[in-house]
Amino acid sequence: MADDKLRLTESLENRAQEEGFAAFGIAPAVLAPVTAKRLQDWLASGQHGDMIWMESRAEQRSSPTNLWPEVKSVVMLGMSYAPARDPFALEQVPDHGRISVYAQGKDYHDVVKGALKRTARWLVDQADCAVKVFVDTAPVMEKPLAEAAGLGWQGKHTNLVSQDHGSWLFLGAIYTTLDLESSTGGKDRCGSCSACQDICPTNAFPEPYRLDAKACISYLTIESKGPIPRQYRKPMGNHIYGCDDCLAACPWNKFAKAAAANKAFLPRAELAAPALADLLAMDDAGFRQIFSGSPIKRSGRNRMVRNCLIAAGNSGDVALVPAVTTLLDDDDAVVRGSAVWALLQLDLGRFQQEKQMRLPKEIDADVLLEWQSAADPSASALAAR
């Protein structure tokens, strides 16, 4: 019986490799109690921000059996998206936006889930079992499970680190009713390294292995719907969707090979180095066209334009002033407010001219506060309303 299980596991790993997975392991269906405790403490601290879905299904998230009582084993799989290009390449090109490596190609949800389903279907055909597959959108703690399955360990940036693939793995899970032999769990190899902590532009790590999502550029540009908090606007630089800084700084990336990445994740030219001027001109139809097939499409046009306006304000490029000024008339109040801030950074004279014309007509409280932000003595009175 043990030999049969071993052969099945080896065949399953081979099948997973054929589907493009670069990392494979088996985790037990019960996570250590400390994992649930860390989740509870993190949620209690409020560091998950507006991600209410993390809180509402915390009990299911804390252990696989809480989500599906019949599960006996969890097959954890990783698909590499190691970039061939330096993720910091656009750091000094302020008139272009920086999009996270993972979002420059096809939507990983579709690619990974398709491969997971095919792998799981093969398993069902080979053994009498039931399965469920998950990629990022269900209450599943992929990173602790991946560590338990030996794919790597959760680094100080809270993401999974692999000895073979660095910080560049998409994770997927197959829950199964089969009782498979568990792999040897991962071992923390971060040591005294603090590269991921030191490089964070917004100091989003209050301590190693703990992330304050509310301060994280990925959260701010993707999850947060309102105005970007003022204290994070300058540190955002030209990040317009996500942030790879903590991932890219990880020394273990030197072992990751871009050739191991799925070709579906190769960057599209228009997403690898997008010009801010082009993105600022997007309407809804243009947004859908540019980001079709990308995970970015979920964020919507308004959020992306908001992010691009912050990047424009940080660019110092006065050539962007006409595009920014046009967005002062945008239907979305968050976009208008972000345009006000960007204009103030780029051209104080033009800001004052536009303020004279537009301030009396503006009715949104947040946008009014943006107009009052330029050393105006009435700003404190307006903020107190």
Angle between helix 108-126 and helix 2-18 axes, rounded to 10 deg: 150
Residue 364: name the closest of 348, 345, 340, 381 by CA.
340
Task: Annotate 226-247 with DSSP letters as a single string.
Answer: SPPPHHHHHHHTTEEE---HHH
What's the rounded Cα separation, in Å, for the pair 12 and 44? Answer: 39
For 9, 29, 72, 81, 95, the CA distances from 4, given in Å and listed in that order, are 9, 20, 17, 33, 59
Distance CA 367, CA 52 (A): 26
**Integer Cα distance of 40 and 26 in angstroms:** 25
Instruction: Report the candidate in 30, 170, 194 with the shortest Cα–Cα distance to residue 113.
Output: 170
Let me know: does 297 contact 330? Beta carbons within 8 Å.
no
Cα distance between residue 99 and residue 308, in whole Å: 11
Distance separating alpha carbons of residues 243 and 100, to the nearest angstrom: 5
First CA to last CA across the chain, in angstroms?
Answer: 73
To 5 degrees, how large is the angle CA 146–CA 149–CA 154?
40
- Tell me which of 136, 278, 317, 347 is the catalytic residue: 136
Residue type at position 103: A
- For the chain, where are the E strands, in sequence order? 23-28, 73-80, 98-99, 131-134, 153-154, 160-161, 169-176, 239-241
Alpha carbon distances (Å) from 147 to 15, 213, 261: 21, 21, 20
Q: Based on the residue annotation, tell me whether 125 is a catalytic residue of this protein.
A: no
Q: Is the dihedral of CA 326, 331, 337, 338 positive or negative?
A: negative
What does the block give as tokens for 153? 């360990």
By annotation, the residues acting in catalysis are 136
